[in-house]
Structure formats: C-alpha cells, structure tokens
Amino acid sequence: MAKVEFHFDFGSPNAYLAHLVIPEVERRTGAKFEYVPILLGGVFKLTNNRSPAESMRGIKNRLEYEELERQRFVRRHGITAFTWNPFFPVNTLLIMRGAVAAKLAGVSARYVEAMFCGMWAAPKKLDDPEVVRAALAEAGLDSALLARTQEAEVKDRLLKNTEASVARGTFGSPTFFVGDEIFFGKDRLGEVEEEIVRVAT
C-alpha cells in the first residue's frame, strides 16, 4: 500500500474538516494517514501564495460561494462540531511547533485533536501561550510541550517539513500525498481514496 500523507496547518478550517473525514477513508481503505505538520505562513512565503480570505477579498460573491461549499461539505459528512474561530486569523507558529514536539513525544494524535478542537470546534485564541497551556491541560497533555517549541530540533523540523512539502508541490493546506501523487483541498478526499484503492490493487 502506498504511503498516505496529510500535510496540515491548524489555521486552515478546510484542514480541520478534512481531519474529521480522514477516519472514514481509513476505515474503508485500510490506509493510515501520516500527519505532517507544516507552517502555512511559510508555505505562502515560499510559493508567493496568499490566504483565500486575502486573495478573494473584493471579488464579488467569491467568499460567499466558498462558505456555501464549506456548508455543503459539513452537511454531506454529518459534521456537527464546526464553528468559525472569532480570533481568525490565528498565528499558528507556536501550535505547529507544538505539533512537531508532540510527534517527537509520541502524543501526536491527542495533540492534533486538542488543537483542531481549540481552533474550530470550541474556538480559542491559540496564539496565546497561556491559552495553549490551558488547552493542553484540558486534554491531559504535558505543558512541557510548550517548552519544547523553543528547541532548535523542533524549530528545524517544522522548517524542513514545510520546505520539503513545497518542494513536492504544496501551495496550501490541506495537501495530501498518496505515494508521489499530490492532491489539494478537502474536496479531493474522494480522489485520494480512489488513488489509495488503485495503488493497492
């Protein structure tokens, strides 16, 4: 079976929605998605890209249509835990470094769940270290993860993840790889699943 990767930043609402649907794909295919933390701000800088909120601003009806598609996705997958974060945009550097630290500590799944929840289910201001500390405690995670975000190894790993992702074709989040095949956006999960099945047969 091909390696399946999910390159994500907590600041992307579409990455969160994809995260909620990934377990369905895993159950149907037997694949296990590897979560790869990247820094979306770094991706934008390396690719000369901008956030949808910025790039679509001023285009009549465009952002409204994006919201319509998001609500259709939510209904299609029966998602009930999604709320727009009133603090958006949130600087995700701290919590993305935390994702690297959590992966190194072997608690990635719990950390990812806690931070995605804190961004898009029970929204918090997750660029405030004390708010992050409280969210970690609520999830039963060691606040030492916060200290690890300042370690050179963690900083370097996030930078390298981001650079390597861009080198493979990434320009935003969520991005998926099935082997060397790249797919962008939550709406490509069906194609991701098709590719997983194709490679496995």
* CA–CA separation, 44 and 68 (whole Å): 25
* CA–CA separation, 72 and 112 (whole Å): 24
pLDDT, residue 100, reads 98
Give the DSSP letter of residue 35: E
Helix (H, G, I), strand (E, B) or coil at 184: strand
Residue 46's H or E segment, with its range, is helix 40-47
Pairing of strands 175-178, 181-184: antiparallel
Task: Work out the average pLDDT over 188-197.
Answer: 97
pLDDT, residue 174, reads 97
Strand order in the sheet with 181-184: 33-37, 4-8, 175-178, 181-184
pLDDT, residue 54, reads 79
Pairing of strands 33-37, 4-8: parallel
pLDDT, residue 95, reads 98
Structural domain count, the chain: 1
User: In this prediction, what percent of the chain has a pLDDT beyond 70?
Assistant: 100
pLDDT, residue 20, reads 98
Residue 165 CA: distances (Å) to CA of 12, 43, 114, 158, 169: 16, 8, 24, 11, 7
* CA–CA separation, 7 and 172 (whole Å): 9
In single-letter form, the type of residue at position 72 comes to R
Task: Dump pLDDT digits (tens) for 103-133.
Answer: 999 999 999 999 999 999 999 999 999 999 9
Burial of 167 by CB count in 10 Å (0-12 exposed, 13-18 middle, 19+ buried)? exposed
In which domain, by residue range, is 116 found?
4-200
Task: Work out the average pLDDT over 7-30.
Answer: 97
Task: Work out the average pLDDT over 184-197.
Answer: 96
Query: Is residue 1 over pLDDT 90?
Result: no
Helix axes 93-105, 152-167, angle to 10 degrees: 100
Q: Residue 71 sits in a domain of what CATH number?
A: 3.40.30.10
Give the DSSP letter of residue 178: E
* CA–CA separation, 196 and 141 (whole Å): 33
pLDDT, residue 128, reads 97
Q: Please report, in angstroms and rounded to a whole number, the separation of the first and last CA atoms in the chain.
A: 9
Query: Is residue 23 over pLDDT 80?
Result: yes
Task: Dump pLDDT digits (tens) for 30-82.
Answer: 999 999 999 999 999 999 988 777 777 788 898 899 899 999 999 999 999 99
pLDDT, residue 55, reads 72
pLDDT, residue 57, reads 78
